[in-house]
Amino acid sequence: MTFSIKDHPFYIRMKQLPPQEIAAWVLGETPVEQAEPKLRKEAFRRVAKKITSGKAERSKYGFNSDTNGEIARAMEWAFQAGLKAGRVK
């Protein structure tokens, strides 16, 4: 019998989330490209923390983790947000 990660009681802590959703924990409804630099930095730190802590949780319980993919998606998102912020100013 195989188990899914979704069956784990801590699934919500291990779940991979899109960077925009994690940043919203800090920024609320404000898009990252319109946020103040201090809040933007805090949002990016929150994204990084979620990626690393999620990897630790998944590894701890024997589930696979695509940390490099998560980091790449977060970096692409941050890059696109930077481009949008540059166009706005």
Tens of pLDDT along 68-84? 988 999 999 889 988 88
The 3-state DSSP class for residue 64 equals coil
Nearest residue to 54 via CA among 19, 25, 4: 19
Ranges in the chain, pLDDT < 50:
none
- Residue 65 · residue 55 · CB < 8 Å: yes
Identify the DSSP state of 7.
G
> How much is the pLDDT for 72?
92
Helices (H), the chain: 11-14, 19-27, 37-60, 67-88
